[in-house]
Amino acid sequence: MSTTARLLSADQRRAISAGLHRFMHAPGWLGPAGDADMVRAALAATPAFANGALDVRKLSVKRMRLKKGQEGWTGQYEITVQAPGEPEARTSLLAGRLVPPGFAEPSAVNDTAFADPAWRVYLPALRLELQHQPADPALPALPLLTDPAQARVLLEHGVRACSPNYADLSIASVTIRHLRYKPGSRATVVYGVEYAPEHADRGWPPIMVAKTYSGSKGKNAYEGMAALWHSGLSSGEIVTLAEPLAYLPEQKVLVQGPIYEDQTLEDLLKAAVAANTPAALANLAHFMGKTADGLAALHTSGVRYGETITWEDELSEVREVIARLAGMVPELADAAEPLLQHLEAVAATAPPDPILPAHRAFRPAQVLLYNDTIGFIDFDGFGQSEPALDLSRFTRKTRALGMDAAKVDANSAEGAARQQQMEAICEAFLQRYEQHTPASRQRIALWETLDLLTLVLYCWTKIEPERLPANMALLERHLEVSGLLNG
């Protein structure tokens, strides 16, 4: 830690600690909307479902978020229902909105049949409004991508136009293997692609992935991937990348080739930490090392594309999330300011490393394992930054996943031992990375503090208050071992 950084007084330390612990007390009205069992029970008691009119066979919370410019938390619920006498259950999506205290509550409209597209209900005990998920105007290409016949034409024409190596591509048919959908933001469709027998030896991709976005992320991902593809990384010697095949600006659709996988690094990490055997941990260390090699190769690829993101930008984003949250829960408005102001003082004494290509969403879930190879995916946010951005995001998520997999109380003696174990795993990763290119440990610590604070904020913005103790323990442990509070 730099000796020029401002030293903390006892009062300042107390202010930081007291401020952070204000995030530990989530109000009782916040959690129920994120509890699938409570939502299911409340919904089953409404007239459209009561007395056996309709059976809720299954209900799951897909995602709830506190988004900018919205009054309350919004998101999706997946519901499976079956009416008496119907041979099969039906699954559909519901749009949900959690209304905080002090905001106008909607009327409890619940006398319309559930099958009616206009059905809407308000569950006052949960402060939750539900209705059928409307069509998504932000993703106009989604109907095309989810219709195999139209998708076949779209993929064929798009790839022919954008990839000279596939100028005569001829697709016989496509089948949808997987669909991931985030309303108002993006959707990903994975296709199995079939060709006529006479084209079987052409080497055309047997799998294609199409992604559509509400904004410019698809274009950014395509151009960033294209730059990386032409940098030498496409050889796959160190890390495998998906081949960028097309970008269709009118539909805002990115098309890419496949990366094969047996599992993700996240899957391996959770299994290895849960097993906690020498063999499992050695296998994890092997692939963590390969991941460090791959990230270093990406960082030193020389690619210059995308916007530059600084630590100060990330700090502003954290403050914006806190301000958004404070609009719903005013007592949190200045809770993190003592810590953030101290981090600003430390950052002023620790110059950043040189700006390099940055993945910007680099986590174990973005690392695919296949046999003995690794691949990187999800370049939506690709740009430029100091290497600490990717390194901190990866190590922060690695520790959080490891503690979840260990299934121990983070504040117990066993929890402390597991935290040390995860720190050792992350330290080995950083040391392997540093064999290729340097990175400031102080800058990594600064970025990681913001990442860990963001995890705490997510417990509020994603309605996961049950995760507050574990995430706060990670943040407090990091502040303790990083030395950031020493100056």
Round to whole Å and give the CA distance between 256 and 245.
5
Give 100-147 pLDDT, tens digit per residue. Answer: 999 999 987 767 889 899 999 999 999 999 999 887 777 889 999 999
Backbone torsions φ then ψ of 266, nearest 5 degrees: -60, -45
Query: Does the pLDDT of residue 195 top 50, yes or no?
Result: yes
Question: Which of 204, 205, 217, 225 has its CA nearest to residue 249?
Answer: 217
Round to whole Å and give the CA distance between 222 and 211.
10
Asked if 193 and 174 count as a contact pair (C-beta separation under 8 A), the reply is yes
Higher model confidence: residue 435 or residue 412? 435
Long-range Cβ contacts of 393-396 (<8 Å, 24+ apart): 393/360, 393/361, 393/362, 393/363, 393/447, 393/451, 394/291, 394/295, 394/362, 394/363, 394/364, 394/429, 395/426, 395/429, 395/430, 395/444, 395/448, 396/448, 396/451, 396/452, 396/455, 396/474
pLDDT of residue 473: 92
Architecture of domain 142-256: 2-Layer Sandwich (3.30)
Query: Does the pLDDT of residue 3 top 80, yes or no?
Result: no
Give 218-238 pLDDT, tens digit per residue. Answer: 999 999 999 999 998 999 999
Q: Domain boundaries in the chain?
A: 10-26+262-486, 32-132, 142-256
Name every residue whose Cβ is closer than 8 Å to that of residue 125 and which is 6 or more positions away in sequence. Answer: 32, 42
Q: How far is CA 268 from CA 265, 273, 274, 430, 482, in A?
A: 5, 9, 10, 19, 27
To the nearest whole percent, how much of the chain has pLDDT over 90?
A: 83
Asked if 129 and 120 count as a contact pair (C-beta separation under 8 A), the reply is yes
Question: Which of 308, 403, 409 has its CA nearest to residue 358?
Answer: 308
Q: How far is CA 91 from CA 38, 48, 58, 83, 131, in A?
A: 19, 16, 9, 12, 14
CATH no. for 10-26+262-486: 3.90.1200.10
pLDDT of residue 6: 57
H-state helical runs in 166-216: none
Q: How far is CA 104 from CA 55, 100, 131, in A?
A: 30, 9, 17
Strands, E assignment, 99-221: 120-123, 128-132, 173-182, 186-194, 207-213
Name every residue whose Cβ is closer than 8 Å to that of residue 451 and which is 6 or more positions away in sequence. Answer: 392, 393, 396, 397
For the beta carbon of residue 143, count every other beta carbon within 10 angstroms: 12
Asked if 121 and 43 count as a contact pair (C-beta separation under 8 A), the reply is yes
pLDDT of residue 8: 83
3-state class of 202 per DSSP? coil
